[in-house]
Structure 1
Amino acid sequence: SIAGGIFFINVGIMHFTDTSWFEPIVPPLLGSATFWVLASGVVEIIVGLGLIIPKTREFSGFSSAILLAMLYPANLYMWVGDIELGDGASLSPTGHVVRLLLQIGGIILSLWIAGWSRDKSIFDLTHQFMPFRK
């Protein structure tokens, strides 16, 4: 979870240091791309810190799973619309499939950090989490 926290913090910081790289993949339907890039950067930093702090790790694991699911539409928009990132780079169809699989893996890993297992349904997790319960 510490590695995941560091990853989220680094990506969150990137949202502030190079907004133009992320802006093209924000679906126009959402409005101001800059706002959504900055807002998601803030959330990624908060989730990242939560994954590092032991007391908030499980809750943040659940939060990171939700965040990854909520952010995927931007990746899907990039894939379906063949949108280039701010530096002009784009993914091949295989690259998009790999990204999807990594996103799914990240969600599963986040749920594992949150305490989900085969004998516990996802709905059990939602009832389990009262922030800072320990």
Structure 2
Amino acid sequence: MKPLIVLVVTFAISLVISGITTGKWDLSFSGRVAMAVMLLFTSIGHFKFTEGMALMLPDFIPAKRETVLATGVIEIIAAIGLFIPPLRVLTAWLLILFFVLILPANIHAALHHVNLEKATYDGSGINYLWFRVPLQLLFIGWVYFFVIRS
């Protein structure tokens, strides 16, 4: 829920600021700002809740802690890449791939009731997926609409 709030609120603030400062509503720029801020926000979780996020990964994935830290770095790099014109579209496609690839970890976490903040197995469980899967689809659509399509 928190990433969604960060995304929407940042988009609204950025859109208003771009409208006031430039006289036009720059949807593409505001969409990229919102996604970048959301990625930076979620990357913090990779460093703050590393052990809990490691529990989200299926058993067959080696080096779970390192994978969590690496994906946090990937989110930071992607946030930056959204603002480098020659890399923007490539970053967007890779970000869509990233969102697809991390979905199984979210499914695994829900099936095993992972509470990533506490690093325990007393999380909300399968009900989490009713929110997370549509949220993941929203992120994919967001990146496509505000970066690739723009």
> Fold conserved (TM > 0.5)?
yes
Offset of residue 95 of structure 1? 2.6
Q: Distance in 1 between matches of 2:67 and 2:94?
A: 18
Q: Distance in 2 between matches of 1:100 and 1:64?
A: 16
| Equivalent position of 2:128 in the other structure | 95
Offset of residue 55 of structure 1? 4.3
SS in 1 for 2:43: helix
Offset of residue 14 of structure 1? 2.6
Moved more, 26-35 or 16-25: 16-25
TM-score (norm 1): 0.75
Per-residue CA deviations over 1:21-73 (Å, capped at 9, x if unaligned) read 31110111001210110111111110111124444332222121111001111
Aligned partners of 2:46 and 2:53 also within 8 Å: yes
Q: Distance in 2 between matches of 1:91 and 1:52?
A: 36
Does residue 22 in structure 1 map to residue 53 in structure 2? Answer: yes
RMSD of Structure 2 on Structure 1 (CA): 2.1
Once the two structures are aligned, what percentage of the paired residues are identical? 24
SS in 2 for 1:106: helix
Which structure ranks higher in relative contact order (CA pairs < 8 Å, sequence separation ≥ 6)? 1
| Equivalent position of 1:11 in the other structure | 42
Residues paired across the two proteins, number: 117
Long gaps (5+) in structure 2: 1-31
Offset of residue 86 of structure 1? 4.3
Does residue 104 in structure 1 map to residue 137 in structure 2? Answer: yes
Long gaps (5+) in structure 1: 118-134
> Residue type matched to 1:113 in 2?
F
TM-score (norm 2): 0.68
